[in-house]
Structure 1
Amino acid sequence: MTASTDRERALEQDVFDEWPPALRAAFDGTSLETKIGFTASLITRDANGHLRTSLLGVGELYAPDSRTLCLALWPHSRAARALSGGGRAALTFVFDDAFYQVQLDIEPLPGTGGDLACFTGSIDTGEAQRVRYARLTGGITFDLEGERETVLDRWKQQIEHLKKTAGASPGR
């Protein structure tokens, strides 16, 4: 057996177009205090064609069903501007010892404004990668310092807003 064959067999790749149950539970908008620290990278393309990364926590992500992810972004953020007319984005993160990359088709959610720019993303394709010789123990993570309760309250309000907005979206 060659070295490249060993490496190929060591890589486990799962492809999906619906959230696996454990991930859907992670993005269900509940028990946010137990999910503090989880960070996902949202990768968008700006007007100049540059790829940009925005870091999102569980208080900004909500999966209303098995094929959708709603996002709550600051309205003047680079990601919100890049997605204002719809488009594509990738969400990457570490979860359950694997690296995930999810390709999303994004549309603005109607009726949003003010403090939040809300979007809905349909999963085009998702991929989880693991290797047998190493276990991913984390990606980008964080701790809330000093304003834990304030941030948790804001997240809960954002998730409630996403739930209401996603429920009012056509096709739901």
Structure 2
Amino acid sequence: SVSRRQLEQDVFDEWPPAARALFDGSALASKTGFTASLLTAGANGYVRTSLLGVGELYAPDSRTLCIALWPQSRAAGVLTQSGRAALTFVCEDAFYQVQLQFEPLASASGDDSGLAHFIGFIDNGETQRVRYARLTGGITFELEEGSGAVLDRWERQIEHLKRAAAAARL
């Protein structure tokens, strides 16, 4: 059991700077190994995990997160019905868990990706660190050779999320 002195916990309702920089939609090629887990619970109570990369996540401001999902995915179905989800990831040696309330986001004009877009609002977030160990990563991946097409698709997806987020503010 970890003593309270060794466990550092912080709560937030706005993205801390490091997390905001991770989801700012820039320099995607330098962030390709990053993976976040989107946790949703369906009507049957089963919790499902969807793994998302930086090309599917965009924070247009300090309190929101836009995501792109396949429309037929279980996560998209749950977000359409209940809107509740948690996002977990590792950033700057800390474990993040963020509770969000999502709603559908209209696709931007010219978006031919076939993806469903959602905008989430932070209910609350928490970071955890322990003093005796450094968390160096969560779930990570490497793109296969010839991954330029993936990066191109991610760039387009982020641009669609940026335009959709900007249009939602009107």
In the superposition, the TM-score normalised over structure 1's length comes to: 0.92
Matches within 5 A, 1:6-155: 7-111=3-107, 115-155=114-154
Q: What is the CA distance between 1:116 and its match in structure 2?
A: 0.7
Contact in 2 for aligned 1:85/1:107 (Cα 8 Å): no
Q: What is the CA distance between 1:51 and its match in structure 2?
A: 0.6
SS at 1:121's partner residue? strand
Give, in whole Å, the separation in 2 of the partners of 1:52 and 1:145. 26
Give, in whole Å, the separation in 2 of the partners of 1:130 and 1:167. 34
Amino acid across the alignment from 1:144: L
Give, in whole Å, the separation in 2 of the partners of 1:150 and 1:80. 24
Q: Percent identity?
A: 69
Q: What is the CA distance between 1:111 and its match in structure 2?
A: 3.8
Q: Write out the 4+ residue segments of structure 1 that deviate beyond 6 Å after TM superposition.
A: none
Q: What is the CA distance between 1:87 and its match in structure 2?
A: 1.5
Larger mean CA deviation between 43-52 and 112-121 belongs to 112-121
Give, in whole Å, the separation in 2 of the partners of 1:22 and 1:153. 24
Contact in 2 for aligned 1:86/1:108 (Cα 8 Å): no
SS at 1:9's partner residue? coil
Amino acid across the alignment from 2:137: G
Change in 2 beyond 3 A, CA 1:122/1:24: same
Aligned length: 167
Deviation string 1:66-113 (CA, Å, 9 cap, x unpaired) is 000000011111111111235210000111100000000111102468
CA RMSD after TM alignment: 1.6
- For structure 2, the residue ranges without an aligned partner over 5 or more in a row are none
Deviation string 1:138-160 (CA, Å, 9 cap, x unpaired) is 10000000341011001000000
SS at 2:81's partner residue? coil
SS at 1:8's partner residue? coil
